[in-house]
């Protein structure tokens, strides 16, 4: 688990804002669910997933309740849907926040990590799959990321998937696999296709393909999704070996892979269509689709691509008061009230020390108050560039700075 410090927090905020704007424009409303749920909410995600079997931060609280920190949000959103039974469908929600998984931490893999995501419940339309994928795509584009590959697949209907799983079991039973993949085969045969171990590559390359098992309906759904993505000009790659953890996934699944990250951590985000989760959590049978995008990893990808940098919002004004500090108290308050950002020196430091702070703060202007200015009820305004300083009536300083700032941003040049 990590601390996120200024100035990094600034771009976390901006990232959330970009996401909120993209999905807000498509009619999604924000949902905030608890960080802790009954552990049963998460075990429904799938008994055969690592997230549930190995990584849950589950514990018994003082009331003897079995609870867990959330490892993701899809299950929580489905639980909320089952509980509140919204009448208007589709129910389109988005979320942002931290999740917890006991993983082996490394670059791009943390025990507390943030996701932004959406879930849409109550509609089976393939065009919704396209909308959802397009939103994630648009989000990455707005961050400025260009090296992101969209990979899509369809797992077909549950019966198609079941038939495929049986075929995989039969095929892999006689294939050359590592011990780890043998163990995966016993738990979750689809997941064997995920193995990145070179010793498994040949066996995986020869494995049966899911498309051979699609029903006509499943094939048509997937065709519509692909045609829709093409219509919107969204590039994608069909990857028949893409599988995702959740037991409830059916039909469309997708992943966004970053071009700059290690392959084990290159999934920036992913999602898919699922059935049965709402039902398992006590609601009516309800189709769902959603995605979750990893914020931590997305920002690493931004670093690697040199886009969406850390915040650089220099201060507008730094107040230097060498007559005790009470003037700085009042002046910073006035400047902030006038809509500019302002900071000041503390502890009665010398003029030189405070000017150093002013420089370091990145402020565009310093206001200087000395003995003479106090006596005259004036202040010195010093642009922190090559321009000369000047003296102005103290009570007009805040408004004058606002005016100078507006003009400077209008002409993109320094005042005066
Ligand atoms: P998942 O819920 O496993 O499909 O993950 C969706 C996205 O969340 C992934 O593509 C990652 O970007 C991110 N993610 C998942 N687990 C972690 C983790 N332990 N640390 C950082 N990001 C993660």
Residues 143-167: b if buried by 16+ CB within 10 A, e if exposed: bebeebebbbbbbbbbebbebbbeb
Distance 313 CA to ligand 1 centre (A): 30
Residue nearest ligand 1's atom 4 by CA:
270
CA 308–ligand 1 middle distance (angstroms): 20
What is the number of the ligand 1 atom nearest to the C-alpha of 267? Answer: 10
Reported pTM: 0.92
Contact yes or no for 46/52 (Cβ under 8 A): yes
d(CA 114, ligand 1 centre) in Å = 8
Distance 262 CA to ligand 1 centre (A): 14
* Distance in angstroms between the alpha carbons of the first and the last residue of the chain: 48
Question: 79 CA to middle of ligand 1, Å?
Answer: 21
- Residue with the nearest Cα to atom 12 of ligand 1? 294
pLDDT of the chain along its 416 residues, tens only?
999 998 899 999 999 999 999 999 999 999 999 999 999 999 987 766 778 878 999 999 999 999 999 999 999 999 999 999 999 999 999 999 999 999 998 889 999 999 999 999 999 999 999 999 999 999 999 999 999 999 999 999 999 999 999 999 999 999 999 999 999 999 889 989 988 899 999 999 999 999 999 999 999 999 999 999 999 999 999 999 998 877 789 999 999 999 887 767 789 999 999 988 999 999 999 999 999 999 999 999 999 999 999 877 789 999 999 999 999 999 999 999 999 999 999 999 999 999 999 999 999 999 999 999 999 999 999 999 888 999 999 999 999 999 998 988 887 554 44
Which residues fall within 8 angstroms of residue 252, CB to CB, at 6 or more apart?
A: 126, 129, 133, 152, 153, 154, 221, 222, 225, 272, 273, 289
Which residues lie with the beta carbon below 6 Å from any ligand 1 atom?
72, 101, 103, 108-110, 113, 115, 267-270, 292, 294, 296-297
Q: In this structure, which residue's CA is closest to atom 10 in ligand 1? A: 269
Q: What is the pLDDT of residue 276?
A: 87
Tokens of 405: 């700032």
294 C-alpha to ligand 1 centroid (Å): 5
Residue whose Cα lies nearest atom 13 of ligand 1: it is 294
**Which atom of ligand 1 approaches the CA of 109 most closely?**
20
Mutation probe of ligand 1 site: the residue of 49, 56, 96, 113 with most atoms within 8 A of C-beta? 113
Interatomic CA distance for residues 259 and 143, integer angstroms: 15
For every residue of 107-156, which 3-state class applies, written as one string? CCECCEEEEEEEEEECCCCHHHHHHHHHHHHHHHHHHCCCCEEEEEEECC
Distance 110 CA to ligand 1 centre (A): 9
**Which of 2, 117, 292 most suits a substitution to test ligand 1, by most atoms within 8 Å of the C-beta?**
292
Taking the CA of residue 271 as reference, the ligand 1 atom at the shortest distance is 4
410 alpha carbon – ligand 1 mean position (Å): 42
For residue 236, report the distance from its CA to the centre of ligand 1, in Å: 20
For residue 368, give the nearest of 319, 415, 308, 331 by alpha carbon: 319
DSSP 3-state assignment of 305? helix
């Amino acid at each position: 688990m990590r601390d996120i410090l200024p100035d990094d927090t600034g771009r976390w905020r901006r990232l959330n804002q970009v996401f909120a704007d993209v999905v807000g424009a498509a009619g999604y409303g924000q949902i905030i669910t608890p960080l802790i749920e009954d552990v049963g909410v998460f075990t429904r995600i799938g008994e055969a997933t690592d997230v549930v079997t190995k990584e849950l931060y589950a514990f018994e609280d003082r009331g003897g309740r079995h609870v867990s920190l959330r490892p993701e949000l899809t299950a929580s959103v489905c639980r909320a849907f089952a509980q509140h039974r919204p009448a208007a469908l589709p129910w389109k929600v988005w979320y942002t926040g931290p999740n917890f998984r006991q993983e082996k931490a490394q670059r791009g893999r943390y025990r507390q990590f943030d996701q932004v995501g959406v879930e849409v419940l109550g509609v089976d339309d393939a065009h919704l799959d396209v909308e959802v994928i397009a939103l994630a795509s648009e989000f990455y584009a707005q961050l400025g990321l260009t090296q992101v590959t969209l990979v899509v697949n369809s797992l077909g209907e549950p019966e198609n998937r079941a038939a495929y799983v049986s075929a995989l079991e039969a095929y892999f039973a006689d294939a050359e696999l590592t011990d780890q993949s043998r163990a995966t085969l016993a738990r979750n045969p689809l997941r064997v296709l995920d193995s990145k171990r070179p010793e498994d590559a040949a066996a995986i390359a020869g494995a049966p393909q899911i498309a051979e098992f699609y029903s006509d309906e499943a094939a048509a759904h997937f065709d519509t999704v692909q045609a829709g993505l093409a219509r919107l000009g969204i590039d994608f790659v069909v990857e028949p070996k893409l599988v995702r953890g959740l037991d409830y996934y059916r039909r469309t699944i997708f992943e966004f892979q970053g071009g700059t990250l290690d392959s084990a951590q290159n999934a920036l985000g992913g999602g898919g269509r699922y059935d049965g989760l709402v039902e398992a959590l006590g609601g009516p049978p309800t189709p769902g689709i959603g995605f979750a995008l990893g914020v931590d990893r997305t920002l690493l990808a931004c670093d690697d691509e040199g886009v969406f940098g850390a915040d650089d919002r220099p201060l507008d004004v730094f107040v230097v008061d060498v007559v005790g500090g009470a003037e700085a108290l009042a002046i910073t308050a006035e400047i902030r009230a006038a809509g500019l950002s302002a900071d000041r020196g503390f502890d009665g430091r010398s003029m030189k020390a405070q000017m150093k702070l002013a420089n370091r703060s990145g402020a565009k202007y310093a206001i200087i108050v000395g003995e003479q200015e106090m006596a005259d009820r004036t202040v010195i305004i010093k642009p922190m560039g090559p321009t000369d300083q000047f003296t102005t009536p103290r009570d007009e300083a805040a408004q004058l700075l606002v005016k100078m700032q507006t003009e400077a941003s209008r002409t993109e040049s320094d005042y005066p």
